[in-house]
Structure 1
Amino acid sequence: MNRAALRRAARTEWGPLYGAVWGTLTAKRLRALPMTLTAVVLTAVFQIVQNQSWGFEPVQRLGSVQAQLPWWLALLRTPLSLFVPALDLPVWGALAQILFVFGIAEACLGMRRTLAVAYAATLAGTMYARLAIAIGPHSVLGLPPDAAKVIDTGPSAAVVGLALYVSWRYRAWFTCSVVVLAMVCEVLVKPNLAGKEHIAAVLAMLLLCLGDEAWRRRKAPQQPHPQRGQRSGAPATRS
């Protein structure tokens, strides 16, 4: 494949998404990403605090989620759990994921929808963890009882969900397929709690995307026709 063909493929894959992100950032600059920047700062603060002798316990009480916790407590901690870095992973990875994926999503979708999608993906993983432990390790869908004690924090499920939702919404089908394939490979190589939660997030986002697609198609007759050069189904503007 020559360079011209690669450029055409890249333009087809990422053109609408790039246009949406660049247009928003050009118009509003950093004011377009208040939630993303707040999330980066909050994650960095949690990382610093939880590594202090006095700070680990308060951070865990605020944002640590485990499958063995009562439902009400897990749900109460979930909003902050996205921004508590996982203890076994480098914090720069979480910061990079939030800045890049959350930033693109917020520029395209707006703050409220980005948060809604992120929490939907995270809650899908949280609910799956309890179901999988109840099923038990004898099933491919299950998890061993010890998984109930695993501290489940960090933005990874939200990042997976946002990447899938945004790529679907902007018709970046290759990117969408890569995200799904990467999560499948992850769980095949390492079928632990995190890997299976990511699959749960993928399934939840696929259902959400299909529902969103059906809803927008029902509204399509009431909307003006797409502008010339815009791919059918791709949003013309940030919603």
Structure 2
Amino acid sequence: MAGEPGAWSLLVRAARFTGRTLRGEWHAVVVDPVRRLAHRGLSGLLLAFVAASGVILFHDLAQHPAGATWVRRLGGVTADLPLWLSLLRTPVSLYVPALDLPVWAGITQLFLAFALAELVLGRARTLAIAYVTTLAGTLTARLMIELGPGRWGIGLPAEYGAVLDTGPSAAVVGLFTYLAVVRRAPVVFTLTGGSMVWESIAVPNLAGREHLVAVSAAIALALLRGRRLRLPYARRNRAGSMPAPAVPSRLPVPAPRASPVLPTDSTRARQCDGFRTSTGARTP
């Protein structure tokens, strides 16, 4: 039939595009980080080891009544706390695992997220993204509770103010989402964002909403990446070197003038001609 060659060509193009996309994502998410790990060694996984060790430590402490009290005092963040106390506990909450989730599965995801982010983005940006996405979820939860139940479709009852924060899961979701956007990894983005949407629909709770906020914050940070203020003194080339200083133009050299003491060129020429003439006259 006449439509079969066109449909076959469309399928071939779709298959080639899918293959190029998956190959590019494989190199961006797996091959490149592994090369960087081979170059930097285990020092490139410092944040991942610290995060996993912190979660294991707080999980072991929470198994005892006294330890659980201290874990809650140090890293337990709820919406009914004063804002300054929530901000003070938020960095520690990155290491406090949720008690209703399997800890070892969470540790694996946490280690992988921090490892990939540290190898690709660096330590400073990894910590910044983890903290900002977690803080965005925490502050949005407070706003939802302040709005009241059912208001604007996002308000929550006051009872949610006593629910613990998501812990490190919001940071994990934020890091995976940020990496998926900046590294152009649609599969990772779909798995991360799609699972969060499914979680918020299947289990409509505070944690699901905070995860969606973390995904949105990570997308916004990724889209804003690379944009800098265009200041005259901040313009540099892509290699990062400062522009070469401008070579000053040569000063104009004034034309030589006749000296009042020394003879000019025409005078010197007449004297030389007279000397040759007088010399030639004396020659026999």
Task: Using the TM superposition, give the Cα deviation of residue 57 of structure 1 relative to its aligned residue in structure 2, in angstroms.
Answer: 0.8
Q: Which residue of 1 aligns with 2:217?
A: 204
Aligned-partner Cα distance in 1 for 2:20–2:62: 47
SS in 2 for 1:83: coil
- Superposition CA RMSD, Å: 2.4
Aligned-partner Cα distance in 2 for 1:192–1:96: 24
- Residues 161 and 23 from structure 1, CA distance in 2 versus in 1: closer, same or farther, beyond 3 angstroms? same
Q: Which residue of 1 aligns with 2:188?
A: 175
Give 5+ residue unaligned stretches, structure 2: 1-10, 240-284
Give 5+ residue unaligned stretches, structure 1: 225-239
Aligned-partner Cα distance in 2 for 1:60–1:134: 23
- State which of 130, 135, 160 in structure 1 corresponds to 2:173: 160
Aligned-partner Cα distance in 2 for 1:149–1:49: 21
Aligned-partner Cα distance in 2 for 1:45–1:75: 22
Task: Using the TM superposition, give the Cα deviation of residue 36 of structure 1 relative to its aligned residue in structure 2, in angstroms.
Answer: 0.9
SS in 1 for 2:86: helix
- State which of 197, 212, 227 in structure 2 corresponds to 1:184: 197
- State which of 22, 26, 33 in structure 1 corresponds to 2:38: 26
Which amino acid counterpart does residue 16 of structure 1 have in structure 2?
A: A
SS in 1 for 2:154: coil
- Residues 9 and 135 from structure 1, CA distance in 2 versus in 1: closer, same or farther, beyond 3 angstroms? same
- Residues 7 and 211 from structure 1, CA distance in 2 versus in 1: closer, same or farther, beyond 3 angstroms? closer
Aligned-partner Cα distance in 2 for 1:39–1:87: 17
- Per the normalisation by structure 2, the TM-score is 0.72
- Residues 188 and 216 from structure 1, CA distance in 2 versus in 1: closer, same or farther, beyond 3 angstroms? farther
Which amino acid counterpart does residue 20 of structure 1 have in structure 2?
A: D
- Per the normalisation by structure 1, the TM-score is 0.85
Aligned-partner Cα distance in 2 for 1:112–1:221: 23
8 Å contact kept, 2:52–2:111: yes
Which amino acid counterpart does residue 156 of structure 1 have in structure 2?
A: S
Aligned-partner Cα distance in 1 for 2:41–2:117: 15
SS in 1 for 2:224: helix
Task: Using the TM superposition, give the Cα deviation of residue 109 of structure 1 relative to its aligned residue in structure 2, in angstroms.
Answer: 0.9
Structure 1 residue 58 corresponds to structure 2 residue 70? yes
Q: Which has the higher contact order (CA 8 A, sep 6+)?
A: 1
Structure 1 residue 132 corresponds to structure 2 residue 144? yes
Task: Using the TM superposition, give the Cα deviation of residue 86 of structure 1 relative to its aligned residue in structure 2, in angstroms.
Answer: 0.8
Task: Using the TM superposition, give the Cα deviation of residue 213 of structure 1 relative to its aligned residue in structure 2, in angstroms.
Answer: 4.8
Aligned-partner Cα distance in 1 for 2:166–2:204: 17
- Residues 194 and 153 from structure 1, CA distance in 2 versus in 1: closer, same or farther, beyond 3 angstroms? closer
